[in-house]
Structure 1
Amino acid sequence: MTSVLPEPQPTDRLESEAEFPRHPFDRWDDDKLREECGVYGVIGVADAAQFVALGLHALQHRGQEAGGIVTHNFGTGFHSARRFGYVRDNFTSTRLMETLPGGLAIGHVRYSTAGSKGRTEIRDVQPFFGEFSMGGAAIAHNGNITNAEALRRELIDRGSIFQSSSDSECIIHLMARSLQRDIPERMKDALRRVEGAFSVVAMTRTKLIGVRDPLGVRPLVLGRLGDAWILSSETCALDIVGAQFVREIEPGEMVVISADSGVKSYHPFEPRPPRFCIFEHVYFSRPDSIQSGRSVYETRRQIGVELAREAPVDADLVCPVPDSGTPAAIGFSHESGIPYGMGIIRNQYMGRTFIEPTEQIRNMGVRLKLNVNRALISGKRVILVDDSVVRGTTSRKIKEMILDAGAAEVHFRIASPPTAWPCFYGVDTPQREKLLAATMTEEEMREHLAVNSLKFISLDGLYRAVGEAGGRNPDRPQYCDACFSGEYPVEPADMIQRGFKLKTAAE
Structure 2
Amino acid sequence: MSKLMPPAHPFDDDKLKEECGVFGVIGVADAANFVALGLHALQHRGQEAGGIVSHDPVEGFNSARRFGYVRDNFTSQSLMQTLPGPLAIGHVRYSTAGSKGAAIRDVQPFFGEFAMGGAAIAHNGNLTNADALRRELIERGSIFQSSSDSECIIHLMARSLQRNIPERMEDALRRVEGAFSIVAMTRTKLIGVRDPMGVRPLVLGKVGDGWVLSSETCALDIIGAQLVREIEPGEMVVISEKHGVESVRPFRPQPAKFCIFEHVYFSRPDSIIGGRSVYETRRQIGVELARETPVEADLVCPVPDSGTPAAIGFAHESGIPFGMGIIRNQYMGRTFIEPTEQIRNMGVRLKLNVNRALIEGKRVVLVDDSVVRGTTSRKIKEMILDAGAAEVHFRIASPPTAWPCFYGVDTPQREKLLAATMTEEEMRQHLSVDSLKFISLDGLYRAVGEAGGRDNNCPQHCDACFSGEYPVIPSDMIQKGFQLKAAE
Asked if the contact 1:54/1:237 (under 8 Å) is kept, the reply is yes
Asked if the contact 2:10/2:376 (under 8 Å) is kept, the reply is no
Asked if the contact 1:112/1:120 (under 8 Å) is kept, the reply is no
Q: Does 1:208 align with 2:201?
A: no
Counterpart of 2:360 in structure 1 is 378
Residue 352 of structure 1: CA displacement?
A: 4.2
Q: TM-score, normalised by structure 1?
A: 0.95
Q: Does 1:21 align with 2:4?
A: yes
What are the equivalent positions in structure 2 for 1:405-420 lying under 5 Å apart? 405-420=387-402
CA distance in 1, matches of 2:343, 2:80: 36
Q: Equivalent residue of 2:13, what SS? A: coil
What are the equivalent positions in structure 2 for 1:192-341 lying under 5 Å apart? 192-341=174-323
Q: Equivalent residue of 2:429, what SS? A: helix
Asked if the contact 1:70/1:107 (under 8 Å) is kept, the reply is yes
Structure 2's unaligned 5+ residue stretches are none
Q: Does 1:494 align with 2:471?
A: no
Q: 1:46 to 1:27 in 2, by over 3 A?
A: farther
Counterpart of 1:14 in structure 2 is none
Residue 25 of structure 1: CA displacement?
A: 5.3
Asked if the contact 1:26/1:351 (under 8 Å) is kept, the reply is no
Given candidates 138, 141, 147, the residue that maps to 1:156 is: 138
Q: Equivalent residue of 1:30, what SS? A: helix
What are the equivalent positions in structure 2 for 1:68-467 lying under 5 Å apart? 68-117=51-100, 119-352=101-334, 354-467=336-449
Residue 27 of structure 1: CA displacement?
A: 5.7
Asked if the contact 1:25/1:85 (under 8 Å) is kept, the reply is no
Q: CA RMSD in A?
A: 1.0
Given candidates 12, 19, 22, the residue that maps to 1:39 is: 22
Counterpart of 1:7 in structure 2 is none
Equivalent pairs counted in the alignment come to 488
CA distance in 1, matches of 2:61, 2:8: 30
Counterpart of 1:64 in structure 2 is 47
Letter in 2 for 1:447: Q
Asked if the contact 1:25/1:351 (under 8 Å) is kept, the reply is no
Asked if the contact 1:387/1:414 (under 8 Å) is kept, the reply is yes
Asked if the contact 1:389/1:418 (under 8 Å) is kept, the reply is yes
Asked if the contact 1:63/1:110 (under 8 Å) is kept, the reply is yes
CA distance in 2, matches of 1:405, 1:317: 14
- C-alpha deviations, 1:79-126, integer Å up to 9, x for none? 000000000000001111111111100000000000102x13000000
Q: Equivalent residue of 1:49, what SS? A: helix
CA distance in 2, matches of 1:24, 1:476: 41
What are the equivalent positions in structure 2 for 1:470-485 lying under 5 Å apart? 470-485=452-467
CA distance in 1, matches of 2:361, 2:279: 31
Q: TM-score, normalised by structure 2?
A: 0.99
Asked if the contact 1:252/1:268 (under 8 Å) is kept, the reply is yes
CA distance in 1, matches of 2:339, 2:395: 32
Letter in 1 for 2:480: R
Q: Equivalent residue of 1:351, what SS? A: coil
Residue 293 of structure 1: CA displacement?
A: 1.6
- C-alpha deviations, 1:32-61, integer Å up to 9, x for none? 000010000000011000000000000000
- C-alpha deviations, 1:320-364, integer Å up to 9, x for none? 000000000000000000000000000011124523543221111
Letter in 1 for 2:362: K
Letter in 1 for 2:384: I
CA distance in 2, matches of 1:503, 1:199: 27
Q: 1:120 to 1:352 in 2, by over 3 A?
A: closer
CA distance in 1, matches of 2:465, 2:255: 19
CA distance in 2, matches of 1:433, 1:490: 21
Asked if the contact 1:325/1:386 (under 8 Å) is kept, the reply is yes
CA distance in 1, matches of 2:335, 2:79: 25
Moved more, 281-290 or 21-30: 21-30
Residue 23 of structure 1: CA displacement?
A: 2.8
Asked if the contact 1:223/1:229 (under 8 Å) is kept, the reply is yes
Q: Equivalent residue of 1:350, what SS? A: coil
CA distance in 1, matches of 2:438, 2:4: 40
Counterpart of 1:13 in structure 2 is none
Residue 226 of structure 1: CA displacement?
A: 1.4
Residue 394 of structure 1: CA displacement?
A: 0.1
Asked if the contact 2:428/2:436 (under 8 Å) is kept, the reply is yes
Q: Equivalent residue of 1:245, what SS? A: strand
Residue 403 of structure 1: CA displacement?
A: 0.1
CA distance in 1, matches of 2:412, 2:250: 34
CA distance in 2, matches of 1:482, 1:29: 22
Q: 1:307 to 1:113 in 2, by over 3 A?
A: same
